[in-house]
């Protein structure tokens, strides 16, 4: 019997919705961490008594330190996630990044701040790399892109939360208070995740733990194939490997490189705009709260547009939707250079959010469903880890351009060119080879109509 395209039963639905909720909340704090630095950056630049004298170039580099940590954390999750399991990686990384955010709030100089931002990023990178694998293994096939989009929309949702809190409370709690908020998952999310987040039955089967997989399936209603069929395929050197070794195999090497380039472009745009958009708009004559409003619109547009695009990806396939979204981003970024009235500028920023942050949401879903179970965490980790190199470059490009006195229009044109390069890489990705590697599953539970 084939895997049900929707739900295997009410327990399956309940378990997946719990998982999606917990994973989304976790990723909200990834988005919060992404944007909170941009919201406090004008204060740190203007007031050297906070952490010390900070130039725009130094600020761009400082913003990249967290991304170095995210890259390390994602790659570590890819190394261990396919071996130790999804649940353990999630719980560990929730603890890690919560403690890191709280410690960052106590930093008293630029060096300490940068080191703690890097260490915090390790936990965030581990989360980003793990949740995509979990959703791909828990969600029914007809809803995989949608649920991935819901979870990874936590990134722009966290950005919205950071922007709103900065507008309402930054004057009262300061930049340190903004970072203390990022430590709340330790006492709120962690207990819920410990109680409600099961291990992936599909991962348990891949590790030969059939009895454990059946027990989880019985308890949660999540379908599982206890005896997956792996047909012999000529020239397939990936079937017996695990993790990054599969990504480097003959069948997956080229798509892995292209998926990494897509994520590089998406995260360069995401981090570059989230870090520097408030400062760019402030330089263009908007006051502090007005410039933060652009950040709010950017991330709000990403949430709405990303969810719409995900529904289209479930129906038409993600490849064309991702490429189109990159092109839409390029168009919107170019519009920002024409000096249109404020309503048109806000609309263009919202569309740019869909095509940059929203596109990266789709890329995670595309990647998590591209690889087989024995390499899924590694695939998402590669996407998140290598892509973070783009996230590191994005804030640095913005800092260098602003420090050199180059106009915001030139910066937007550069970002638009990067979006077009991302679209080109997307269109070059070959058809999903896992169709030949993993046969359709025979579920351990009877499927029922939704």
Name the fold adopted by 10-226+238-431: Growth Hormone; Chain: A; (1.20.1250)
Q: Helix or strand or coil: residue 440?
A: coil
The closest of 276, 268, 273, 269 to 399, measured between CA atoms, is 276
Spatial contact of 438 and 316, defined as CB atoms under 8 Å apart: no
- pLDDT score of 102: 92
Q: Helix or strand or coil: residue 301?
A: helix
Report DSSP state, residue 198: P
Quote the CA–CA distance of 1 and 184 in Å, as a whole number.
44
- pLDDT score of 237: 52
Quote the CA–CA distance of 360 and 368 in Å, as a whole number.
12
Query: Tokens 């020239």 identify what position?
Result: 235
Spell out the residues 6+ positions from residue 447 whose beta carbon is closer than 8 angstroms to its own. 1, 2, 3, 4, 8, 223
- pLDDT score of 204: 84
pTM higher than 0.75: no
- pLDDT score of 308: 85
- pLDDT score of 228: 59
- pLDDT score of 208: 80
Token digits for 171?
Answer: 């004057």
Quote the CA–CA distance of 266 and 284 in Å, as a whole number.
25
- pLDDT score of 247: 80
The closest of 421, 410, 401, 262 to 330, measured between CA atoms, is 421
- pLDDT score of 292: 67
- pLDDT score of 5: 56
Quote the CA–CA distance of 210 and 362 in Å, as a whole number.
32
Residues of the chain with pLDDT under 50: 1-4, 231-235, 238, 434-450
- pLDDT score of 436: 41
Query: Tokens 């792996």 identify what position?
Result: 230
Report DSSP state, residue 8: S
Query: Tokens 């309402």 identify what position?
Result: 168
Spell out the residues 6+ positions from residue 98 whose beta carbon is closer than 8 angstroms to its own. 29, 123, 182, 183, 184, 185, 186, 190
């Amino acid at each position: 019997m084939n895997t049900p395209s929707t739900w295997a039963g009410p327990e399956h639905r309940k378990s997946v919705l719990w998982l999606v909720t917990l994973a989304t909340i976790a990723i909200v704090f990834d988005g919060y961490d992404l944007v909170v630095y941009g919201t406090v950056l004008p204060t740190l630049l203007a007031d050297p008594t906070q952490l010390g004298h900070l130039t725009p170039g130094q600020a761009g580099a400082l913003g990249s330190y967290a991304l170095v940590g995210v890259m390390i954390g994602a790659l570590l999750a890819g190394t261990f996630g396919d071996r130790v399991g999804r649940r353990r990686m999630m719980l560990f990384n929730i603890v890690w990044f919560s403690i890191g955010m709280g410690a960052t709030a106590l930093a008293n100089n630029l060096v300490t701040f940068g080191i703690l931002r890097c260490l915090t990023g390790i936990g965030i990178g581990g989360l980003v790399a793990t949740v995509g694998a979990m959703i791909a293994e828990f969600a029914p096939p007809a809803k995989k892109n949608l649920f991935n989009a819901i979870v990874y929309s936590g990134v722009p949702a966290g950005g919205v939360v950071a922007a709103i809190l900065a507008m309402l409370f930054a004057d009262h709690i300061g930049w340190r208070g903004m970072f203390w908020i990022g430590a709340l998952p330790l006492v709120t999310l962690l207990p819920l995740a410990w109680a409600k987040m099961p291990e992936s039955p599909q991962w348990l089967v891949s590790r030969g733990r059939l009895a454990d997989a059946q027990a989880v399936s019985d308890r949660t209603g999540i379908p599982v194939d206890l005896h997956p069929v792996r047909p012999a395929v000529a020239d397939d050197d990936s079937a017996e490997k695990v993790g990054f070794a599969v990504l480097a195999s003959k069948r997956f090497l080229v798509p892995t490189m292209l998926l990494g380039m897509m994520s590089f472009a998406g995260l360069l745009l995401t981090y570059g705009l989230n870090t520097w958009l408030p400062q760019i708009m402030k330089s263009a004559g908007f006051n502090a709260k007005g410039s933060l409003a652009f950040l709010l619109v950017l991330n709000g547009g990403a949430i709405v547009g990303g969810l719409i695009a995900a529904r289209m990806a479930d129906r038409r396939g993600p490849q064309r939707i991702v490429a189109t979204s990159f092109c839409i981003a390029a168009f919107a970024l170019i519009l920002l250079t024409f000096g249109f009235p404020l309503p048109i500028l806000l609309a263009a920023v919202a569309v740019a959010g869909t095509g940059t942050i929203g596109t990266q949401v789709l890329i995670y879903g595309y990647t998590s469903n591209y690889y087989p179970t024995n390499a899924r965490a590694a695939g998402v980790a590669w996407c998140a880890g290598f892509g973070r190199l783009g996230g590191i470059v994005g804030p640095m490009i913005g800092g260098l351009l602003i420090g050199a006195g180059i106009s915001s229009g030139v910066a937007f044109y550069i970002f638009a060119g990067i979006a077009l390069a991302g679209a080109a890489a997307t269109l070059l990705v070959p058809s999903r080879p896992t169709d030949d590697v993993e046969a359709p599953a025979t579920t351990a539970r009877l499927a029922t109509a939704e």
